[in-house]
Structure 1
């Protein structure tokens, strides 16, 4: 029958798209882990809310991973309940992603101020809190930056203003006196806020491309799942 053949096609399309979702889930997990590792020290000196961003991507990837597996089983077994549940969950995830994208755009300036405040707070704790001190040093070495906005920020910290110095991690070279009476020739001139923002803007295109790809396949998955639900409910054999 033509309908039977058409429903067979829909069934396998749902199965194929769920496999694609599975791959997308793995991709999101990888991106979340990469972002967490790359920004680990920057997030350590920022707020808890900022630190949750890579974790949110990681959790979303895991959720999509399991939902896609659930959808594959539903399509393969032709279970109306499982396919319906899959379509509903996928629709919810799609709406959450849209809401997250809108919130990210609206609060992008807030994220910048949170990061800047975290950097300043870490600078004030430098030398007194060992984990924070190590985090700041690693940020400055990895991003080749010094201070929040520039190297002169350290002069507002009492212990560094008194000796006209900056942390050794600001040094451009291994010279012994590079952090004493700092100048743009001896220490990194640009601040860490600018460097971290530049890194994030460079890599956000990758995240945006993956997100758009996932959203496209989610919409198709929802449509095909609804078609399969209709076919199963109508009592057609789609084996």
Structure 2
């Protein structure tokens, strides 16, 4: 029954967005351009240098493309969580609690901004270019890795989104802190982690964990040794990491909702 309700809600949202196709296409283009901001930075950097963190321009583009595609997919389904602080401040979240549906699926289904497909499209275009200009040895394993990596990355990003936004149950105005983690992770994963140093790399690569979105899978696809000396098998564990992040996000969200007491206003 719940699945049917969600399908009806999403169908209504999508039908409304596609009613004005010209506006929809322009919105998709704007989203693609916005996602391409980091791409411009990468290209400008390689006008001055020949390698970045031990990676050539085409190799960096592969990392960027995998991360960009994953983030675009995550933003499409989990970006609605950015509205959580407003739900809490206005007391609208209490309405979600009264319905016989999960609060997290309700939030995620509250809107499905199809225009964010532009972000996914932008990443896929760069991914196609990067694959054509890198020496990838194609085997059934590498094809499977290529197909699974963006999905696993999207799950990791979405789990990070849930974890970061859960803070808003205790810090009602904690959206900026959440954005630092979510959108900051998008920027971080667009580059090889070898360009970072110290605590930032350890935090964003393994605690968050952004390195498994694109960096390690890209190394596996390129059959490239990690400049930092990490074992090669890390390139194949993104689905496991995604499952762990999703599980932790679910537990954290459930705990936060159970201890939610409203804003008192």
Q: How does the TM-score come out when normalised to structure 1?
A: 0.30
| TM-score (ref. length: structure 2) | 0.28
Larger Rg belongs to: 1
